[in-house]
Amino acid sequence: MKRRDFFEKSGCGLFGLMLAFFGLTACKKGEAPAEESTAAQAAKEEMSQKDMIKKLLMEKKGLSAEEADAQMAEFEEKVSMVKTMCICRTCPTYVSEESELGFCHPLVGKSKVITGEKGCVCPNCPVYKQMSLKNGYYCTRKSEMEQEMAKIG
């Protein structure tokens, strides 16, 4: 599959590279900040990232809200496929505290847990081969698209 096809079919759209996460809530004076479970916080961050991507689709790509929603649905569908095929768990860089997969996909973004680099088995992954990816260490260096975008400034 050609690289362009991957980005189209995997949902790795030009504007799917956002890593900015929201999710911080202001506390009322006198109230202790409520603790959130890791899963709840991750869900909030994921939602915020999706919101950011949709916003960019509309503002930068000129999509209507309906078109952006359709694109987001495609992103969602393909992210699941990438995660299913991902072999990150077999990688020496992957850590037991991490549960995320598919870091090469823009909707996943880099890991919030993994910081070290002890080797990358991405080139052995079926996603990497089928999608003709070029980079690696997506968990620490961001998605394929982001790394490619960084090369051209």
Positions in the binding site for ligand SF4 (CB under 6 A): 82, 85-88, 91, 93-94, 101-104, 120-122, 125, 127-128, 133, 136-139
Cβ(2)–Cβ(132) below 8 Å:
yes
Nearer to ligand SF4, 54 or 110 (CB): 110
Nearer to ligand SF4, 58 or 121 (CB): 121
d(CA 109, CA 105): 7
CA 132 from chain center: how many Å? 18
Please name which of 113, 120, 111 lies closest in space to residue 92, comparing C-alpha atoms. 120
Nearer to ligand SF4, 18 or 122 (CB): 122
Nearer to ligand SF4, 71 or 144 (CB): 144
CB of 20 to ligand SF4, least distance (A): 20
CB of 149 to ligand SF4, least distance (A): 17
Half-sphere exposure of 105 (CA within 13 A, CB side): 27
CB of 28 to ligand SF4, least distance (A): 40
CB of 83 to ligand SF4, least distance (A): 7
Nearer to ligand SF4, 56 or 127 (CB): 127
Q: How many CB atoms lie within 10 A of CB 39?
A: 9
Cβ(140)–Cβ(110) below 8 Å:
yes
CB of 8 to ligand SF4, least distance (A): 17
User: Where is 15: in which H helix or E strand?
Assistant: none
